[in-house]
Amino acid sequence: MGMTISEKILAKAAGLDKTAAGDIVWAKVDRAMMDDILGPRVEIADKMELLKAKVWDPDRVVIVSDHYTPPANEKQAEIVKFTREWAGSHGIKNYYEFAGPCHQVMVEHGHALPGDLIVGTDSHTCTYGALGAFSTGIGSTEMLGVLATGEIWLKVPQTIRVKAEGGLQAGVMAKDVILQAIGSIGHNGATYKAMEFAGTTFEQMIMDERLCVANMAVEAGAKNGIIACDHITRSYLASIGAGTGVEFTSDEDAVYCSTVELDASRLEPVCACPHEVDNVEPLREKENVTINQAYIGSCTGGRYHDLKTAANWLKGKKIAKGVRLLISPASREVWELCAREGILTVLSEAGATVLASSCGACLGIHSGAIGAGEVCVSSTNRNFIGRMGSKKSEVYLASPLSVAVAAVTGHLADPRDYI
């Protein structure tokens, strides 16, 4: 009986020849990531002091202040200050601030490689599966054990295979593909399972699109999402001067608990309707929904390809009266690249407000929270009650292109009707 990619990576991390779904393993962590919101908080610092513990390997720890940057109030500023000082006092050189959301920073700076076992204090740590890594989110207390020992125990997950074949229609993006998959599986249908993405559709996706897909695996409850390393992965890693890692592919006789098959050529632009990510409907059926705010950004939908796609369509157009279009590039590097190429100018001329690279608006803590009764369409990853501000607001999730179209029309719309 063969093994899946996830089983092989966990076997490597545990020093075993083989693992199977359901096994409990003690595994060595290749990289530990913490952010400011759930990272080295006072409780962890106190417990490490009590245990007289030192960070097992400061070079394998990455800390990113992203949720509270730029700080909106004194409390947020104090948390960022504490995070910065804690990183310095423990010799952690890989500390980033005002660099953008942690997951984009991790990837851009070569901290996520094929075959790695990566844990992070953010549920969307599963993003790095786009590079062929086994990456998953853990809690702050569990991270304390990792910081002290460099190890973690994990149950080897069963794997759901999501297979998509064929090319996408014009107007359809990776966000539409992963929303369709989540709609089929359900928001808890992949709980403590791996989601392995395979087929020609994913093989043809550039890295920016693959990162969007892997990022949202957790929205189906998945432990991790993963795409096999290939020439696109290797080319991307070479372009940023990163290492090569260890490549794994699933065996032909690997065991999957289920398979979801998608015909990419038949997929259409969709949205996740309030207040669940799996409440997925075609955009063509939601054109009566008027919006107040449109948001393109975050670790899900604010990468170079996302902003370029939106700008290409928005060039020469103006956003609708009464609509706010907010743009938050996924990192400082994305911000600067888009600035050099004139993408941010195009967006601004269309009426968009370009924000700092931050997580703030995605979870409604600063830089674009929405009020009671307001409707936002967003390229982010969650739309539960109160996610982006008021508990009496509504959030629809869609692709960056669909968000751009809605910003101009003033309502949800199928982008195929406007391209």
Domain assignment of residue 41, given as a range? 5-262
**Rounded (5°) CA angle 41-105-382:** 75
pLDDT at 215 over 70: yes
Claim to verify: residue 302 and residue 225 sit in the same structural domain: no
Could you give the CA distance from residue 102 to residue 263 in angstroms, rounded to a whole number? Answer: 33
**Residue 79: which CATH number?**
3.30.499.10
Is 32 in the same domain as 142?
A: yes
| Pair of tokens at residue 103 | 């997951």
> For residue 307, what are the CA distances in angstroms to 103, 202, 375, 394?
17, 20, 21, 23
Chosen domain end from 227, 262, 297: 262
- pLDDT(39) > 80: no
Indicate the number of domains in the chain. 2
Alpha carbons 314 and 338: distance in angstroms, whole number: 14
Give the pLDDT confidence score for residue 252 in this predicted structure. Answer: 94
Looking at residue 52, its pLDDT comes to 66
- 203 and 283 fall within a common domain: no
Shared domain check, 279 and 200: no
Residue 360's pLDDT band, with cuts at 50, 70 and 90, is: confident
251 and 276 share one domain:
no
Given 231, 262, 293, the domain boundary residue is: 262
pLDDT one-digit tens code per residue, 106-158: 999 999 999 999 999 999 999 999 999 999 999 988 998 999 999 999 999 99
Q: Residue 268: count other Cβ atoms within 10 Å of its Cβ.
A: 16
For the segment 99-106, the average pLDDT, to the nearest whole number, is 95
Of 238, 262, 286, the last residue of a domain is: 262
The arithmetic mean of pLDDT across residues 2-20, rounded, is 97
Q: How confident is the model at residue 386 (pLDDT cuts 50, 70, 90)?
A: confident
C-beta separation of 403 from 295 below 8 A: yes
Q: What is the mean pLDDT of residues 74-102?
A: 93
Residues 225 and 340 in one domain: no
CA–CA separation, 314 and 396 (whole Å) = 20
pLDDT (0 to 100) of residue 37: 86
Please tell me whether residues 337 and 280 are part of one structural domain: yes
The reply to whether 199 and 316 lie within a common domain is no
Quick one: 249 exposed, middle or buried, by C-beta within 10 A (0-12, 13-18, 19+)? middle
Residue 51 — very low, low, confident or very high, per pLDDT cuts 50/70/90? low
Mean pLDDT value of segment 40-48: 69
Task: Please write the tens of the pLDDT for every residue from 64-83.
Answer: 999 999 988 999 999 999 99
Q: What local confidence, expressed as pLDDT, does residue 253 receive?
A: 96
What would the pLDDT profile of 225-262 be if each residue is shown by its tens digit?
999 999 999 999 999 999 999 999 999 999 999 999 99
Tell whether 57 and 205 lie within a shared domain. yes
Residue 45 confidence (pLDDT): 67
Examine the domain organization and report whether 71 and 180 are in the same domain. Answer: yes
Q: What is the reported pLDDT for 364?
A: 75
The answer on 360 and 275 residing in a single domain is yes
Give the predicted TM-score (pTM) of the model: 0.95
Given a contact cutoff of 8 angstroms between Cβ atoms, the answer to whether 96 and 39 are in contact is no
Shared domain for 41 and 125, answered yes or no, is yes
Least confident window among 50-64, 269-283, 305-319: 50-64
The alpha helices in 275-351, defined as continuous H runs, are 298-301, 304-314, 332-340, 343-349
Percent of the chain residues past pLDDT 70, beyond the cut: 97
Average pLDDT, the chain: 94
